[in-house]
Every structure is written in C-alpha cells, then in structure tokens.
Amino acid sequence: MSEKISLSAPVIAIDGPSGSGKGTLCQKLAQHLGWHLLDSGALYRLVGMAADKHGCAFDDEAAIAKLAANLDVEFVAGEPGEPTRVLLEGEDVSGDLRTETTGMLASKVAVLPAVRSALLGRQRDFAQAPGLVADGRDMGTVVFTSAPVKIFLTASAEERADRRYLQLKSKGDDVNLAALLGEIRARDKRDSERELAPLKPAEDAVQLDSSGLGIDEVFDRVLAEVNARLIGL
Ligand SMILES: Nc1ncnc2c1ncn2[C@@H]1O[C@H](COP(=O)(O)OP(=O)(O)OP(=O)(O)O)[C@@H](O)[C@H]1O
Ligand SMILES: Nc1ccn([C@H]2C[C@H](O)[C@@H](COP(=O)(O)O)O2)c(=O)n1
C-alpha cells in the first residue's frame, strides 16, 4: 500500500506509456480548467540531457542524482504564438527535448532511485491552487497518491508508433516507422520493469485505451470522469 500524502490543491494524475496522448490530454485539461500543468517527463528528460552533457556513466547514480537535485533549468516564455524555450545550464535545448533519443536518456536515468527521490519534492511543489494536471508514469502511484482523479491512458504500441511517426514527419524529421516502434517497445519495457515506481496503473485509476479514439473523444471521456469525481471537493 503506497503512502498517502496530503495535497494543498486537487490533482488530476494522468499516467501511461509514451505516445498514449498524455501530454496532449493534459494540456487541453489544464487549459480548460485553468489549472497548473506538470510535465514530469520533461524533468527526467532534462536530467538525462544533463547526464549526457556532463559525460556521466548511466549507472553513476550519485553523480546523476546531484545533477537532478541542482537542475539548472529556465523556461522562457516565447512571443505570443511562439513556444516556450527551455534553457538547460543556459543552453537552449528546446529542439532536442522531445526527441526519442532524449526520451531514451530520460528512461535510463529514471531507473535510478536517488534521481527519482531528488525530483520528488520539485514535482509535489506544483500542486498549487486552483489545481494541478500532472502528466507522467508514477503520478497516481507515487507522487500524488491522494489525487482525487487518476487516469491510466494507453494505446497499442503500433498506434503509438503511428502517432509519433505523423508527429515527427509533420515537423520535417526523417523518420522510420519500424525504428520508432522498436524504440517505443524498448522504452515501455524499461519503464514498466524498473524496480522503483514502475509504469503501472494505480489501484484506483480509471483505465482508458485510446486506440481508435480521437483526441477530442479522449478529452470528453476524461472530462466527464473529472466532473464526476471532483463534485463535492
Ligand atoms: N487520441 C489520439 N488520436 C490520435 N493522435 C493522438 C491522440 N492523442 C495524441 N495524439 C498525437 O500523438 C502524438 C503523441 O502524443 P503525446 O505527446 O500527447 O503523447 P505522450 O503520451 O505525452 O507521449 P510522451 O510520454 O512520449 O511524451 C502527438 O502528435 C499527438 O497529437
Ligand atoms: N513521472 C515520470 C515521467 C517520466 N519518466 C521517465 C520515463 C519516460 O520514458 C521518460 C520520458 O517521459 P515522457 O516525456 O516521454 O513522458 O521519463 C518517469 O520515469 N516518470
């Protein structure tokens, strides 16, 4: 049984594997509700990039945890209509942050218990009024165990690879569908099989398979769940 921490604001915890649509859904929910947004994967991605930049061995837990605890990151709002820029140690890493290569670096540092513990408080600090929509792998099982709404969003690996292919292709990247599917499966395996905070649904999570569902359909179903669960809070 996981420890229940008290929350200073309601949290909607959305977990699931890579490409299931968590980021898209969380952004829409946060915008709709006027709540804060936590992209916990971005924190792990930044730690993975920092470890790579500093030439850390991926089993050097102490060195990587130190980077995680002292993560020098700045989010710089762009001009209207322009995306936020992310600066890691003063360097603009926005272009590389969301790549599959960075996702794999993140997945590697995420197996290290000291790294997870270094990022825990930073993630919990995001739970501020009026509320938080939290996107990750362990939002419902570890970080926000008392969240009144927990969703575990999935889709088949094939559909997630198709989505990622379209996403990267539309940005003009040179992509290979079979390679993407392989990377997604490898990341699923590492994220689900790690000892600490593995990717899995919380016991009290609502599970939603988004295969064959459009973005709006997923949003409507989750919003109905949110409205049902948050009544009376
Ligand atoms: N229900 C859906 N139907 C079709 N495409 C979708 C759906 N949900 C999301 N997408 C698209 O799939 C791609 C991946 O979505 P998104 O980045 O939200 O996934 P994610 O779960 O946050 O992935 P990651 O964990 O790797 O960050 C995006 O291009 C997004 O527009
Ligand atoms: N709460 C989290 C969030 C992310 N991770 C790790 C595992 C993922 O493969 C990687 C990148 O996440 P993404 O940006 O694709 O959501 O980071 C985790 O372990 N726990």
In a domain, 161, yes or no: yes
Please check whether residue 194 is in contact with residue 111, taking contact to mean a CB–CB distance below 8 angstroms: yes
The tally of domains found in the chain comes to 1
pLDDT of 233 reads 55
Q: Model's pTM, two decimal places?
A: 0.95
What does the alpha-carbon distance between residue 113 and residue 18 come to, in Å, rounded to a whole number?
Answer: 21
In a domain, 217, yes or no: yes
**Is ligand 2 within 6 A of the CB of residue 138?**
yes
pLDDT tens, position by position, 33-76 = 999 999 999 999 999 999 999 999 999 999 999 999 999 999 88
In a domain, 1, yes or no: no
**Is ligand 2 within 6 A of the CB of residue 150?**
no
In a domain, 51, yes or no: yes
CA of 98 to the centre of ligand 2 (A): 11
> Please, where are the H alpha helices in the chain?
22-33, 40-53, 61-69, 94-97, 100-109, 113-124, 157-170, 177-193, 215-230
pLDDT tens, position by position, 113-170 = 999 999 999 999 999 999 999 999 999 999 999 999 999 999 999 999 999 999 999 9
Q: Which of 107, 126, 195 to mutate to test the pocket of ligand 2 (most atoms within 8 A of CB)?
A: 107
In a domain, 167, yes or no: yes
CA of 231 to the centre of ligand 2 (A): 30
Residue 39: nearest ligand to its CA?
A: 2
ipTM of the complex, rounded to two decimals? 0.98
Domain, as residue range, for 207:
11-228
Nearest to 16 by CA among 131, 146, 184: 184
What does the alpha-carbon distance between residue 39 and residue 23 come to, in Å, rounded to a whole number?
Answer: 7
Residue 180: nearest ligand to its CA?
A: 1
In a domain, 6, yes or no: no
C-alpha dihedral (41, 47, 48, 52), degrees to nearest 10 = 160
CATH number for the domain that contains residue 200: 3.40.50.300
In a domain, 4, yes or no: no
